[in-house]
Amino acid sequence: MSDTLVRPSAEAADKSRAARLLGQALRSREIAVFAVLVLLLVVATIANPRFLVGSDGWRDLLVTPSILLLLAVGQTAVIITRNVDLSVGSTVGLTAYAVGKIFVEFPGIPVVVVFVIGALIGAVLGLINGALVAFGRVPALVVTLGTMYIYRGVFLEWAGSDRINAGDLPGRFLSLGTKQVLTIPVLTIIALVVLAVVGFYLRSMRSGREFYAIGSDPAAARLYGLPVTRRVLGAFILCGALAGLAGVFYAARYGTVSSGAGRNLELESVAAAVIGGVAIFGGTGTVWGAGIGAFLLVTIDRVLPLLGISDFWQRAVVGALIIAAVALDRVLSLRRERQLKQARDEARNAS
């Protein structure tokens, strides 16, 4: 008799757990954005069966978003703390040009050392942004808008009419733009490893969780004793370092660096993060969603022309996605506030 009572109870618990997990999955922004990405690829393949045929199509699908993926991951860390970095595009261009100049001056320098130098250049530029925001208490939008023009101006003054060509870069470095491991481009593998490491840090480490606490309520975080200044500074350094690494990727991927390198990438990185579920108001979002958002944006740029959609409507689609993402975040935020208020009222009435 007891077995018959226990079994239905266990089955009911399993069904309840499964329903809860399904509900969470359906509410997940990452899953929703990934579903849109898959749908877009299916439509593109139907429109042009050769879209993913051959190594070039598959490689381009994976390697082209790797630069934006790095920027979106760094941008996520900053946005979570209720800030933004608009200088990452200029950092990419400046670092990419610096990488080319390093190879020109030191042709035999190891590629790994160049990767480290690129990340360090970006980290220094990110440190400048972070210091002005964290210690100067200047709004990040104002600071990084200014440094965006400053870094771009330094880049233009340095480069002038000069440019880095593929002939200036060693073959062992350029091969990274096409080299694959088990059909997956090396640059994509590196970008995904970075995403996994940063994602683990933000999700599992105490200092990483503090990023979310600061973004949710900076004043309360200070009262609680969290190192707000240090964490905000760290977020900008991380964002700058990943932008510097993206500059190295840019040089390896395209082989040519001109004065226009990295232009508009700052806006695309913010768009990728927001579309991927990172709340522009801070405190919410994951690097996984930002990474999927980066792949979605790059795929949109490739697929919509294939479907005969004009450039205007391509930009309009991206703009609509951003507005929808921000509106959804606001709706969910208001819903959570109502639920918390209702829970507090019920607890007060019960007492």
Residue 315 located in a structural domain? no
CB 74, CB 241: distance < 8 Å: yes
Question: What backbone phi and psi angles, to 5 degrees, belong to 162?
Answer: -75, 160
Rounded CA separation 150/320 (Å): 30
**Residue from 240, 235, 55, 40 nearest 147 by CA:** 240
- The mean pLDDT of 272-290, rounded to a whole number, is 88
CA–CA–CA angle 270, 272, 274 (5° rounding): 65
**Residue from 286, 261, 262, 283 nearest 272 by CA:** 286
Residue 57 located in a structural domain? yes
At residue 266 the predicted structure's pLDDT band, cuts being 50, 70 and 90, is very high
Rounded CA separation 29/31 (Å): 5
Read off the amino acid at residue 261: A
Output the six-digit token pair for 216.
């949710």
Positive or negative, the CA dihedral 67, 69, 74, 76 is positive
Residue 9 located in a structural domain? no
Q: How many domains does the chain have?
A: 1
Residue 134 located in a structural domain? yes
CA–CA–CA angle 325, 331, 337 (5° rounding): 135
CB 239, CB 286: distance < 8 Å: no
Rounded CA separation 231/218 (Å): 11
Output the six-digit token pair for 67.
């630069």
What per-residue confidence (pLDDT) applies to 337? 66
Question: What backbone phi and psi angles, to 5 degrees, belong to 165?
Answer: -110, 165
Query: Pairing relation of β-strands 180-181 and 184-185?
Result: antiparallel
pLDDT tens-digit readout, 288-344: 999 999 998 888 888 877 777 777 777 787 788 778 777 776 776 667 667 667 766
What per-residue confidence (pLDDT) applies to 219? 86
What per-residue confidence (pLDDT) applies to 25? 47
DSSP count for the chain of H helices, then E strands: 15, 2
Please tell me what DSSP assigns to residue 175: G
CB 299, CB 41: distance < 8 Å: yes
Positive or negative, the CA dihedral 190, 196, 197, 198 is positive
Instruction: Compute the mean pLDDT over every residue in the chain, rounded to the nearest whole number.
Output: 85
pLDDT tens-digit readout, 214-246: 998 888 888 888 899 999 999 999 999 999 999
pLDDT tens-digit readout, 37-95: 888 888 888 877 777 665 567 777 888 899 999 999 999 999 999 999 999 999 999 99
Rounded CA separation 120/126 (Å): 10
Residue 1 located in a structural domain? no
CB 109, CB 98: distance < 8 Å: no
Q: Which domain holds residue 235?
A: 34-310
Residue 232 located in a structural domain? yes
pLDDT tens-digit readout, 59-69: 778 888 999 99
Q: Is the pLDDT of residue 152 over 90?
A: yes
Residue 116 located in a structural domain? yes
Question: What backbone phi and psi angles, to 5 degrees, belong to 278?
Answer: -85, 115
What per-residue confidence (pLDDT) applies to 336? 66
Output the six-digit token pair for 119.
């990340």
Q: What is the pTM of this model?
A: 0.86
Residue 171 located in a structural domain? yes
Please tell me what DSSP assigns to residue 257: B
Q: Is 279 helix (H, G, I), strand (E, B) or coil?
A: coil
What per-residue confidence (pLDDT) applies to 333? 67
Q: Read off the CATH number of the domain in which 194 is found.
A: 1.10.3470
